[in-house]
Amino acid sequence: MPRAKQRTQELHDRVLSVAVALLARDGVAGFTTRSVARAAQTSTPAVYELFGDKGGLVREVFFEGFQLLRAHLGTVADSDQPRSDLVTLVELYRGFMRENRVLSEVMFSRPFTDFEPGESELEASSSVRIFIVAHVRRCIDTGLLHGDETDIAHILVALTQGLAAAENARRLGSTQASIDRRWALAINALLDGLSG
């Protein structure tokens, strides 16, 4: 009698964790189903059985990235300064993208040809979006910003992702002081422009 296969949730979670770590270490070019299986101490067929194919594994990494980002942003404690809280949220978003460069690339640039996010994958970012919209709404409710909270949140996220991508590519400045100054200039210009 053949041995029963053990495709458990524990194995699924271990393979996913290893996949995220492998992306960070080896980048997109070094990311293969075989390398993930080897690092997770399982077989390539087991990975395929758990995730379907490489695209399925990348899809799970995509979801995991947004769960990690949401948890990271959740460390913001609301204060009586909504604009300051919003700026702190942007700083946390920036930090996540700096600390998780390749994972951020998977989440926002989609470098794998065998994975194109569908509707459910795009919904994975909804908890992050809802969280940011709520912080923008606090600024609107207190008169610090004017406009539609969803529009403002989208613009703020796009600006944050663009600046973080430029910083990660070393195109935002040659010193930390110049990079930080440009971040502050961009975010404050956006928020100041929406305050009137």
For CATH 1.10.357.10, list the domain ranges present in the chain.
62-193
Average pLDDT over residues 4-24: 85
**pLDDT category of residue 4 using cuts at 50, 70 and 90:** very low
What confidence tens digit (pLDDT) does each residue in 56-108 have? 898 889 888 998 999 999 998 999 999 999 999 999 999 999 999 989 988 88
**pLDDT category of residue 5 using cuts at 50, 70 and 90:** low
Percent of the chain with pLDDT over 70: 95
**pLDDT category of residue 145 using cuts at 50, 70 and 90:** very high
CB 48 within 8 A of CB 33: yes
* Domain 62-193 classification at class level: mainly alpha
What is the DSSP-derived secondary structure letter of residue 115? -
Sign, CA torsion 101/107/110/112: positive
Q: Please choose, from the candidates 37, 103, 39, 102, the residue with its C-alpha nearest in 3D space to the C-alpha of residue 68.
A: 103
pLDDT, position 6:
59
Distance in angstroms (rounded) separating the CA atoms of residues 157 and 94: 10
For CATH 1.10.10, list the domain ranges present in the chain.
1-52
* Domain 1-52 classification at class level: mainly alpha
Percent of the chain with pLDDT over 90: 70
Cα 23 to the center of its chain, rounded Å: 14
pLDDT surpasses 60 at 117: yes
Distance in angstroms (rounded) separating the CA atoms of residues 137 and 153: 9
Q: Residue 155 is which amino acid?
A: I
CB 167 within 8 A of CB 94: yes
Helix (H, G, I), strand (E, B) or coil at 155: helix
pLDDT surpasses 60 at 3: no
pLDDT surpasses 90 at 47: yes
